[in-house]
Amino acid sequence: MRKLLLLLCMALVISLQARAETITLLAEDDWYPYTGKMESGRVEGISIDLLRAAFEAVGVKVEFDVMPYDRAMAKVREGKGLAAFNTPREPGVEKFYTWPAQPLFQAKSLYFAKTTFERQISKVQDLDGLKVALVQGYGYGDEIDNDTRIDRILSSSDKVGIRKTLADRADVVVVYDMVAKDLLQKMKVTDLLKVVGEASVADVYLAFSRTFPDSERIRALFDKGFAEIRKNGRYEQIMQEWNARFE
């Protein structure tokens, strides 16, 4: 009898797992360690782990469709995708999406320049007369995003922006701190660039479509799951594990 009950319980669990809801989020391909596509084709990163944990807490399985960031954001804005990330919540994009109750995390962006660069950047006005390498479609905070005087050297990725700075096609490049820790080491240019100022600190969100079917219900589920992992310690565990990789 006990064996029969055990078999029935196992069958029930398998049945429930088979019926578990699955959603697809649009993930950017080139912002590791926040989110990035590995050589294996697998998508990994801080945001990936946080999102999986939050949705798992409410019984939802997450799959990821990987693409460039600006393409992902456009698809969500047009109602062709449920949600995308890692999105700074700023006035320029606020109206196009709906937003969870809390950001995934805060991310700090820094100004980098060649070691021969002799200035410090303490405010956006200090960029006057400088060529600034930025990634097309990224948000860098209101001061940078809304200042039309900045001479923007746009690139498809942080790596390209760094190369342009090293080649003197840009004077400074803006890169988020965790990305820089990983990328400068991989590119073997740690000794060629230095931090010359802090650009901004941004709240980074999972941004939901205003028109994609069922997006409001899924957003509510995310809020519930995210609150749960903040409460039970799983959020802090994930962040500590990732920070330890770059100490």
Structural domain boundaries of the chain?
Answer: 2-105+204-244, 107-202
pLDDT at 60: 98
Query: Could you tell me what percent of the chain has a pLDDT over 90?
Result: 86
- Classified by CATH at the fold level, domain 107-202 comes out as D-Maltodextrin-Binding Protein; domain 2 (3.40.190)
CA distance 109 to 112: 10
Domain 2-105+204-244 identical in fold to domain 107-202 = yes
94-121 tens-digit pLDDT: 999 999 999 999 999 999 999 999 999 9
**pLDDT band for position 90 (cuts 50, 70, 90):** confident
Phi–psi pair at 174, nearest 5 degrees: -100, 120
Architecture of the domain defined by 2-105+204-244 = 3-Layer(aba) Sandwich (3.40)
Confidence of residue 13 (pLDDT cuts 50, 70, 90): very low
Q: Which residue has the tokens 């950047």?
A: 121
Residue range 123-143, pLDDT digits in tens: 999 999 999 999 998 989 888
Burial bucket for residue 172 (CB in 10 Å: 0-12, 13-18, 19+): buried
What is the reported pTM? Answer: 0.86
Give the per-residue pLDDT at 92. Answer: 84
**Of 75, 67, 76, 141, which Cα lies nearest the Cα of 108?**
141
Say if CB 73 and CB 92 are below 8 A apart. no
Closest CA to 135 of 148, 112, 153: 153
Tens of pLDDT, residue by residue over 170-208, are 999 999 999 999 999 999 999 999 999 999 999 999 999
The answer to whether residue 1 scores a pLDDT higher than 90 is no
